[in-house]
Amino acid sequence: MPGVPTTEIMDPDDERIADYRALTDVELRTRWEPPNGLFIAEGELVIGRALRAGYRLRSVLVDAKRVDQLADLPPDATVYAATPAVLESITGFHVHRGVLASFHRRALPSLDEVLDRARRLVVCEGINTHTNLGALFRSAAALGMDAVVLSPTCADPLYRRSVRVSMGEVFAVPYARAAAWPAALATVRTAGFRLLAMTPAPDAVPVQRLDSAARARPALLLGAEGPGLSTAAVQAADVRVAVPMRRGVDSLNVATAAAVAFWELCRDDPA
List the one residue out of 153, 147, 150, 138 whose CA is nearest residue 177.
150
- pLDDT given at position 271: 61
Q: What is the signed CA dihedral for 73, 156, 139, 47, rounded to 10 degrees?
A: 10
- pLDDT given at position 169: 97
- pLDDT given at position 249: 87
User: Where are the alpha helices (H) located in the chain, listed in sequence order?
Assistant: 26-32, 44-52, 84-91, 111-117, 130-143, 160-165, 183-190, 212-216, 231-236, 254-266
The Cα-based distances of 79 to 5, 63, 96, 215 in angstroms read: 7, 11, 18, 48
**pLDDT per residue as tens digits for the range 234-245:** 999 999 999 998
What residues of the chain score a pLDDT lower than 50?
Answer: 1-2
List the one residue out of 149, 137, 234, 229 whose CA is nearest residue 187.
149
Task: Output b/e per residue, 35-68; b: 16+ Cβ within 10 A.
Answer: eeebbbbbbbebbbbbbeeebebbbbbbbbebbe
> Would you list the DSSP string of 168-193?
TGGGTS-EEE-SSTTHHHHHHHHTTP
Which helix (H) or strand (E) segment holds residue 210: the answer is none
Residue 158: what are its φ and ψ, rounded to 5°?
A: -95, 5
Quick one: how many helices (H) and strands (E) in the chain? 10, 12
**pTM score:** 0.94
- pLDDT given at position 1: 44
Contacts of 258 (CB under 8 A, 6+ apart): 122, 136, 139, 140, 198, 220, 222
- The span from the first CA to the last CA of the chain, in angstroms, equals 37
- pLDDT given at position 127: 97
Three-state SS for 256?
helix
Quick check: 197 and 163 in contact, CB under 8 A? no
Residues 47 and 44: their CA atoms lie apart, in Å, by: 5
Quick check: 42 and 160 in contact, CB under 8 A? yes
- pLDDT given at position 221: 98
> Which residues on adjacent β-strands are paired with residue 41?
101
